[in-house]
Amino acid sequence: MTTRIGVVTFPGSLDDVDARRAIRLAGAEPVALWHRDKSLNQVDAVVLPGGFSYGDYLRCGAIARFSPVMETVVEQARAGLPVLGICNGFQVLCESHLLPGALTRNDHLHFVCRDQRLRVENADTAWTSDYAEGQEITVPLKNGEGGYVADERTLDELEATGRVVFRYLDVNPNGSRRDIAGICNEAGNVVGLMPHPEHAVEALTGPTTDGLGFFTSVLKKLVAS
């Protein structure tokens, strides 16, 4: 039976097609999900892609959290459905309170686009099991509001419970607190990160193929469960 991974398209999504291609390359079946539909069409996992959902009016992800599809995503994520939020998807996860904290304007007030080195801090989530803890990977990063912020108590809790999943190496590109590039929820089924693994799945087009592990990780978890 083929594993089905849904990719939500919001108005303004840019990287939904790239995410579906990455899923296909990993060996799963990508399923297009529309923001106005409550049904997830019986998918086994969901990806919230990068882009500028609803034009990033108000705050990034603030309107997307109220879309019909997110009502179902939130409900099923809390029941254990694997969900990955990439860039704008990370912002949507924070706005939906599936992940703590928020993403704010880059501290240098400029859009940044670069190949970013990351360290894998947690290889036990649904989306990172194909990596090793401490492994260094390189994937593209592109954002204008990518600075991860939270109060000190929340940051300390994320650190103490191993919920910091990725950390920036060499340079902090956006002013994220404690160089945090990605985090997860307590159960490890929901992961959000600013960099774009879906742009690093083929040697021809990516700086590396380091991003493919996200999609093979969840596929192996779903097949095993």
- Distances in whole angstroms, Cα of residue 11 to Cα of each of 1, 8, 62, 189: 32, 10, 13, 26
As given in the structure block, the two tokens for residue 63 are 């309107």
Rounded-to-integer distance, Cα 131 and Cα 117, Å: 14
For 154, the 3-state DSSP assignment is helix
Backbone region of residue 150 per phi and psi (left: phi > 0; alpha: psi in -120 to 50; beta: other values)? beta
Residue spans of beta strands (DSSP E) within the chain:
4-9, 29-34, 45-48, 83-86, 102-104, 112-120, 136-143, 147-149, 164-168, 180-184, 190-193
Annotated catalytic residue within 95, 121, 145, 198: 198
Question: Is 97 labeled as catalytic in the residue annotation?
Answer: no
Annotated catalytic residue within 87, 95, 184, 199: 87
Beta-sheet pairing, 45-48 with 4-9? parallel
Annotated catalytic residue within 35, 145, 196, 199: 196
- Compute how many other C-beta atoms are within 10 angstroms of the C-beta atom of residue 52: 20
Active-site residues: which are they? 87, 196, 198
